[in-house]
Every structure is written in C-alpha cells, then in structure tokens.
Amino acid sequence: MNPNCIHSCDEVKYEGDIPKRWGNLSAQEMVHRFWAGTIAGTYVGHGETYLSPDDILWWSKGGILKGQSPPRLAFLRQVLEDGPAEGIEPVDKWQNPE
C-alpha cells in the first residue's frame, strides 16, 4: 500500500443483533468486510449494535464491546503486522491507480 494515499471505508454496517439491515452482521461477516477493505487498500471502521437492557447501542454512546469481532480483528492486525514491513499491495488497483 502506498502510505501517502489513504482511503477509508467507514460504513461497512455493524456487528450486532438489531433488526435493521445495517446493524445485524455476524462477527465473521464483519471481519470479512475488514479483510475485503484491507486487500482493496482501504481502512475500515468498526462498530457494534447489540441490543442491551438499557437500550444503549455502542455505536452511539460507546461503552463495552460485546461482539466477537474485536478479538478476530486483533488477530487480523497481528497477521498484517507480521507481514512485510512495506505492507501488502492492494488487489484492486482501481483504489490506488498507478
């Protein structure tokens, strides 16, 4: 990846269990979307929308993460950090035309 060219993909939906289509991804799907963003040369943001007794969703108020994607994303981060120091080349060159 070119460190001088930053792309982000913030809205990949949320890991959670609310009935809205944008808030009920599984942890596996959330991590898959991070991987897809990574190999496309973008940064992806994490958020959760699990129902709780106090009716507070993490993505709007913060608090304790309840999902399973954070430890999976930590593993993905470790894999990337253990990789080549220059990073990986994006699969989708359209994201970073040369």
**14-54 residue pLDDT tens:** 999 999 999 999 999 999 999 988 888 888 888 899 988 88
End-to-end CA distance of the chain: 12
Say if residue 57's pLDDT is above 60.
yes
d(CA 91, CA 13) in angstroms, rounded, equals: 22
